[in-house]
Each structure stands twice: as C-alpha cells, then as structure tokens.
Amino acid sequence: MTPPADRFVLVILDGLGDLPHPHTEGRTPVEAARTPILDRAMRLGAMGDVVVVGVGTAPESDAGVFALLGYDPVRDSPGRGVLEAEGIGIAVAPGDVAFRLNFATVAGDRRVLDARVGRSLATGEASSLAESLTAADLLADVGIRATVRATVGHRGVLLLHPTRGGPLSPRVSNADPFYERVGGMGRARAEAEPFVPPVVAEVDEPSATRTASATNLFLGRAGEMLAAHPTNARRALAGKKIANGLLLRNAGSAASPGPEPFARRWGLAAAAITEMPVERGIARLLGLGDDYIGPMGSDRDAGYGDRARRTLAALDRVPFVYVHLKGPDEPGHDGDAHRKREIVEAIDRSFFAPFFEGVDLERTRIAITADHATPAIRKGHTDDPVPLLLLGAGIPATPPSPGATFGEPVASRGSLGHLVGRDVMRLLLGRGPGPA
C-alpha cells in the first residue's frame, strides 16, 4: 500500500492498555470511557493490537517508545538513567554512570512501603533533598562525585562521576525490586519481593565491582541523611509519607556511537511533543525537534488543548510528529480505574477533538497506541497487548461492528491483526514489512 500521505503523527498514550476491572463494570477503564471522538476516528480507519516489545516483557516507557519508533530497546538504548539525564540537560561523560532514581518510603528492614512517596512529594521538596545529597559529596572518599538531580515529583537522576581510579561501569543490577535491566532496556518484574536489593556487578570486571560497591555505599549514607532531613521532618509532622530511601534502576553510560538518528533511519525530519524528561531525552538522543511541555498542570482540559495546538503547529513545520501523553499511566499504577477512565475521557474531548478538527486527513496518516499496558487491577506494567488505531491518508476504513467503542476488545478483533512494536512505524509510514 503506497499512501498519498506526506504528514505523519504518532500519538503514544502512556500506559493506556488495561484489563477488565470491577470498578468499571467489568470492562477495561479504556473501553468504559466515553470517547466519542476516538469512536468516530475508529470508524474511519483500522484497529489492531500490539505487543510492544515481546511476549513476557513488560517494558518501561523508554523501551516501549524505542520499539514504537522502530528501534531495538535492548541494543539502541543507552539506559534509562542516561535518557533521564539527557532530558534535564545533564551531560554524561565517558566513564560516568547514570541511574534513574525514585525517592521512596522505606522501612528499617529495607522493605519498600511506597515506591513513589504516596505521589505527594512535590518537585520542590525533592529538589531540596537532592541538593543536600549532592552538597554532602557522599562518595568523595572513594574517588567518585555523586550528583542527585530531582526531575518531576518523586523522580530524579543519580550521576556517578569518577574523580580518580578510572571509568565506572553500567553493568550493575538495580537497587529497585520492581524493575530489572536487559541490555539498555528496563522491564517490570512479573513477581517482586518489596525489599531494596543490594547492587551487584553483572560482569566480573573491576570497574563493575567498584561501581556496585560505591552505589551501595551511597545508598546507605544517603538513607541516613534523608531520614534526618528537615523536609522529611516537616512531612512527618503533616502526616505525610517521608522520602527516606532511594530506588535506583537502569544504569547507563554515554554510548559512542549512539543510535542512528531518526531522520537518517526514516528519511523524515521530526518533532517530539513530550511531558516527561525520559521522553524528552529520547527525542534529543534521536535528533527529533524538542518541543518539551512539561508535566500536566491542574487544569487537565486546558493542558490537553495546548498539547493539541502544539501538535498541529509542529505538523506545519515537519512531516513527522511524535506526541507522548503521560495521563493514563499514573492511575494505572495507583489501581484507580475510575480516574484512568476520566483521564481517557479528558484526552478524547480536549486533545483529540481539537486535533482532529485541525488536521487534514487527506494528507496526514495517524497512529494512536501505547508504550505499554498499566492495568489498574495489576498496579504496574504488564506485557498485555495495547490498542492501535491507524487512520488517515491511504488507510481504508474497516469499521468495527455497530455499537463498538474504542478499547482493547475491539482492537483485539481489528483488521490490522496482532502486531509487535517494531511493526508500527512501517505501517504508519506505509513502508511494508521487514527490518528497519
């Protein structure tokens, strides 16, 4: 199929995929949502579903995005820590190691009581904690400069820079019981004991052994500082969970050479509309134009409307736009099926309504999908298939049965069939099957 399209949009709804839930009448939160715009779009195009990385792999967002953009997340990703650092402008030099960091609430026996500090840790509070940890220079005695930077809420980056003793190695395990690393790819563990594990070297090399030992030393010293920090004292007095521990995952180092730039791989100039540092880091790494919006504010409808306007404006500048909307993922992690349904409804009315009003479907082809499933009933990422809707120029309409609504069940029966993440870009661009 050779499309007449000369404009392409990939919309990734973070964590959209879900499973039936009793709080949404036995349907998935997506299926239960009122989505008249997506329902109408579904009748103009074709549906299918996507196992984003592979059966048995519950990917993190960065792995899912790499796959959907046509890359191999194991081979091409430098690691979540490097991507987060890139997303906030931290340079990772050769020999450095960067980790993605979560501030967490941890008991004395290393049991993780809350991996996200109840989602109530403000970015300003996290920045105060991070600045204190950095100022303390906790690994100076072992020849490593440890820098902590807060990003959004409970999230952050730990950068280890050797000041003596040679380069460090990213070939170390996670200090996070809920995620594991395979090459540059992070994935959720299917079964996890909620205790912070010690970091161990994954290879028998002095640089990896040193990195693991230093990281464990840092975690111990950081925990003591966090427990006594004034920010946590104030939180405890207010009856809030305290950020007295750190979870580290997906160590990475600067890759040379990095992955093939997007424009070279696909022959298209591109822009990225992103909300979170990791997706911004991916965009920068692959050479996509950087249109970073930042996290959603309190007015959800205004925020989605702004994202729609920015997407249309970017499409006037470049032929390919990647849009990443974080919304559905967090309520999935929190087990809140009602709120996930509400967010899907807000995306439909406030992002997709103005977007479809402004886009020219006679020259534009659009793919709408997700980077992974985050079922509310599971409270975490899974390898379940996610919906894919493809419509626009050159896509024949294959509408579902009357009365069907956008969601996982109709996607599983769609005419596009069952796909994997690397198929999506070729379908969107009309390039046909085969490796990139």
pLDDT at 433: 53
How distant, in Å, are the alpha carbons of 292, 320, 422 from that of 284? 10, 15, 20
**Cβ neighbours around 349 below 10 Å, total:** 16
Q: Which amino acid is at 365?
A: R
Alpha helices in 318-378 (DSSP H): 329-333, 337-347, 353-358
In contact, 248 and 84? CB cutoff 8 Å: no
Handedness of CA 100, 179, 327, 340 (dihedral sign): negative
H/E run at residue 187:
strand 185-188
Q: Tens digits of per-residue pLDDT, 144-181?
A: 999 999 999 999 999 999 999 999 999 999 999 999 98
**Cβ neighbours around 341 below 10 Å, total:** 26
pLDDT at 192: 84
Nearest CA-CA partner of 380 in 19, 10, 6: 19
Rounded CA-CA distance 39/406 in Å is: 5
pLDDT at 2: 44
In contact, 289 and 318? CB cutoff 8 Å: yes
Structure tokens at 151: 């990003």
Rounded CA-CA distance 19/234 in Å is: 39
Strand order in the sheet with 179-182: 58-59, 185-188, 179-182
Cα 21 to its chain centre, rounded Å, is 23
DSSP states along 212-236? HHHHHHHHHHHHHHHHT-HHHHHHH
Backbone angles phi, psi at 214, to 5 degrees: -65, -40
Rounded CA-CA distance 275/205 in Å is: 38
Rounded CA-CA distance 395/180 in Å is: 38
Q: Could you say which residues of the chain have pLDDT below 70?
A: 1-4, 433-436
pLDDT at 63: 94
User: Which CATH architecture describes the domain 7-77+259-429?
Assistant: 3-Layer(aba) Sandwich (3.40)
pLDDT at 435: 40
Rounded CA-CA distance 334/377 in Å is: 9
Q: Calculate ∠ Cα 280-371-71, nearest 5°.
A: 70
Structure tokens at 132: 């204190």
pLDDT at 182: 84
Q: Tens digits of per-residue pLDDT, 236-270?
A: 999 999 999 999 999 999 877 889 999 999 999 99
Span(s) in the chain for CATH 3.40.720.10: 7-77+259-429
Q: Counting Cβ atoms within 10 Å, is residue 411 exposed (0-12), middle (13-18) or buried (19+)?
A: buried
* Radius of gyration of the chain from its Cα atoms, rounded to whole angstroms: 22
Q: Counting Cβ atoms within 10 Å, is residue 427 exposed (0-12), middle (13-18) or buried (19+)?
A: buried
Within 13 Å, how many C-alpha atoms sit on residue 240's CB side? 18
In contact, 311 and 321? CB cutoff 8 Å: yes
